[in-house]
Structure 1
Amino acid sequence: MHRFHNASRCARLFVWLLLAIAAIGWAPLAAAAPKCTSSSATLTFPSSVTIPSSTAVGSTLATGTATMSFTCTGLSSSNNPATIQAGQYLATLDPTNNTAGPGITFATGVSGLAVLVTATPVQATSAACLACGPTSTAGYVLGSVSGNSSGTGTGTVTANYSATLIKTGPIAPGTISSINLIPFWWYIPAGPGNTGTSASLGANLILPAINLTAPSCSLTTSSQNIAVTLPGVATASLSTAGQVNGRAAFSIAVTGCPTSVSTITTYFYAGATIDTTSGNLINKGTATNVEVQLLNGAGGSAAALSVINLAGAQASAQNSSQYSVSGGAATLNYFAQYIASGGAAGAGTVSTSVTFTIAYP
């Protein structure tokens, strides 16, 4: 009997142990503390922007966009919702900024340029925020996320940003440095059951660095690779050295010049195709005793033509006073022709080339 009594006691102790283990397994998990997170976003501006010389104040020079997401977790319905705040410590505002919006206009650090930032679905403003930020300073509320009875509420607030680079006055070439335009915070105001929470998200809307360049003259597409076709001629027309024939006109078109540019010059570069004795272009085709001579032709006619001597490192193709720029554009007229060299020309093909560039003050 004594042994049986001990066995029964052991059985009861074993059951109590199992119950204790079961009770531990049934204990509810503690709710996670409320938390909101996000990451910085950089506006997609081009890295380089050309400063137009004639656009009016208020004109848009470039645009950029960015999207930011704010995720909150561990929210309880017994507390106030977690609210996302944009602002508190905004970057320097431009004098043209309207605190009531729409949008926020920031200074860029470059005279004559500002950046206007707008947002959806909630419009950005820089008005004083009386109850929506850690210091109740300039900014606006993007949205909020509510909790649930179990304290596991989650949600996301999304903001889409558009920005425009605006001319506010005369602009000089330079660089806009990267700027943290808008910082973001989240907070739960104090209320029944909580003492309030406020914290920086460590996330910013960022204006990237932008290089500002002055406008420049440029060649039209058709002038970047010019094919000049000379007519076929009889060898008898080139029977003596220095005799010319088969003249053909061609032009170089320039556009986009700043208003300050009034004249332009073309330079032809020395190379393997140039005869340094005659200053003409060497024939790379099969015809013998023939070269190609270039002439400048102000006004586009054959009148008052002058031969271009290509010999030298960088021979001037045209006096800068002879080609004027009007309305930011110019057409530079030239001619090419056969010239007999070293005796009577022999039958065959003629092919050659030369590299040129344009220059202006």
Structure 2
Amino acid sequence: MKHRFNDAPRYTRLLVWLLLLIAAIGWAPLAAAAPNCTASSATLSFASTTISIPSNTSIGSTLATGTATMNFNCTGLSSTDTPATIQAGQYLATLDTTNNPGGPGITFATGVPGLAVLVTATPVQATSQSGNVNDGPTSTAGYVPGSVAYVGCTRRHCTATTSGTVSASYTATLIKTGPIAPGAIPQTNLIPFWWDIRGDGTYGTSKSLGASLILPAISLTAPSCSLTTGSQNIAVTLPAVPTASLSTAGNVTGRTAFNIAVTGCPTSAKSITTYFYSGATIDTASGNLRNSSGTAANVEVQLLNGAGGSAAALSAINLAGAQAQSQNSSQYNISGGAATMNYYAQYIASGAAATAGTVNTNVTFTIAYP
């Protein structure tokens, strides 16, 4: 019995050592994560990637605008680090001759003569300056969108490292710098992005984020004359007339004026013609419009050229035949990218005397210019 009592203290000491060892393992500090910043490329978004070249806009006019947002995420910053700095630049896309290094913004060439793209940014304005620490990587052309700093302790807790995000919003404006020809702007990486921790022996060298602000491919098309809203579907209402005014074949009455107007024509277009298409509503014998859905008999609608065109005023338009419209519809001059083509519609008795009823018909037209 005496021997067992003497061994008890030795077992107690072993248990204490084991608990201390377990506690020491539990208290061992974890290794801090290395600082790092990441980002993804962003493509500027335009309402359309096909743009019609305006015909009469002045130098400096805006053709289109696109926007994008870049997010830069930095992690693992400790109390020994200065802020992680986001850098934009060094390998900028080709700058336009109109670019101002001091901003506001950076003006890039598009590869299309007469067209440049100005990129501006918020909350820090983009510039293409170079030669000092606040420019792009290693003091090359660019600027600093922002930085993420170590936050440290708050009232409730302390953290060994800090994570944070910098966001930058971009607006790209396509600007006319001279005459523009149809063509295509290729997809272009405008601005590459980097990061560093300035003054740090390990992280003080600029590191590529592998992310860029991207201008998408954009097609530039030649402008075309556009019908005004009121000319896209024209309703010509002829007046009610007595049947006596159409008692003999060839009698005409109810002459009503209408016009077809266009805008936005290219400067190269000097004249324009309306083409009326032959179709089921055309009387191939008379060249007039049949009363296709009305109830009156022996009556058609005749179209005439109005004043201001190349044909004699009030000359009848023969709508019959595939090429008749080009021979009979008047040609009009374009001035300032716009033109108004004047026409008339009137009742004409066909065959015997017209009978009472309604007159409804239609014709399809298009416009053409050299």
- TM-score normalised per structure 2: 0.88
**Equivalent residues of 1:298, 1:322 under 8 A apart:** no
> Which residue of 1 is the match for residue 314 of structure 2?
305
Alpha-carbon distance change, 80 to 322 in structure 1, aligned in 2, over 3 angstroms: closer
Spell out, residue by residue over 1:266-310, the C-alpha distance to the aligned partner (whole angstroms, 9 max, x if none).
00112221122222111111111221111112249xx84221111
> Which residue of 2 is the match for residue 52 of structure 1?
54
| Number of residue-to-residue matches in the alignment | 359
Structure 1 Cα separation of the partners of residues 177 and 191 of structure 2: 21
User: Which amino acid letter does the alignment assign opposite residue 31 of structure 1?
Assistant: A
Alpha-carbon distance change, 334 to 13 in structure 1, aligned in 2, over 3 angstroms: same
Secondary structure at the counterpart of residue 98 of structure 2: coil
User: Which of 248, 253, 258 in structure 1 is aligned with 2:261?
Assistant: 253
* Residue 145 of structure 1, CA deviation: 1.4
**Equivalent residues of 2:305, 2:329 under 8 A apart:** no
Aligned-residue CA RMSD in angstroms? 2.6
Structure 1 Cα separation of the partners of residues 194 and 328 of structure 2: 64
Aligned-residue identity in percent: 76
* Residue 217 in structure 1 maps to residue 225 in structure 2: yes
**Equivalent residues of 1:145, 1:157 under 8 A apart:** yes
Alpha-carbon distance change, 27 to 84 in structure 1, aligned in 2, over 3 angstroms: same
> Which residue of 2 is the match for residue 105 of structure 1?
107
Alpha-carbon distance change, 320 to 110 in structure 1, aligned in 2, over 3 angstroms: farther
* 1:114-193 correspondence runs (5 A): 114-131=116-133, 134-148=137-151, 150-191=159-200
- Structure 1 range deviating more: 219-228 or 39-48: 39-48
* 1:1-361 correspondence runs (5 A): 1=1, 13=14, 16-45=17-46, 46-131=48-133, 134-148=137-151, 150-191=159-200, 194=202, 196=204, 198-283=206-291, 284-299=293-308, 304-316=313-325, 322-361=331-370
User: Which amino acid letter does the alignment assign opposite residue 49 of structure 1?
Assistant: I
User: Which amino acid letter does the alignment assign opposite residue 287 of structure 1?
Assistant: A
**Equivalent residues of 1:129, 1:139 under 8 A apart:** no
* Residue 105 of structure 1, CA deviation: 1.4
* Residue 181 of structure 1, CA deviation: 0.5
* Residue 176 of structure 1, CA deviation: 0.8
Secondary structure at the counterpart of residue 22 of structure 2: helix
Alpha-carbon distance change, 278 to 4 in structure 1, aligned in 2, over 3 angstroms: farther
Secondary structure at the counterpart of residue 20 of structure 1: helix
**Equivalent residues of 1:71, 1:155 under 8 A apart:** yes
- Structure 1: which 5+ runs fail to align? none
- TM-score normalised per structure 1: 0.90
* Residue 343 of structure 1, CA deviation: 1.6
Alpha-carbon distance change, 298 to 86 in structure 1, aligned in 2, over 3 angstroms: same
**Equivalent residues of 2:55, 2:337 under 8 A apart:** no
Structure 1 Cα separation of the partners of residues 328 and 123 of structure 2: 60
Structure 1 Cα separation of the partners of residues 335 and 206 of structure 2: 62
User: Which amino acid letter does the alignment assign opposite residue 28 of structure 1?
Assistant: P
Structure 2 Cα separation of the partners of residues 29 and 11 of structure 1: 31
- Structure 1 range deviating more: 126-135 or 101-110: 126-135
Structure 2 Cα separation of the partners of residues 21 and 160 of structure 1: 52
Structure 2 Cα separation of the partners of residues 72 and 189 of structure 1: 14
User: Which amino acid letter does the alignment assign opposite residue 311 of structure 1?
Assistant: A
Alpha-carbon distance change, 250 to 70 in structure 1, aligned in 2, over 3 angstroms: same
User: Which amino acid letter does the alignment assign opposite residue 119 of structure 1?
Assistant: A
Spell out, residue by residue over 1:145-168, the C-alpha distance to the aligned partner (whole angstroms, 9 max, x if none).
122565411222222222222222
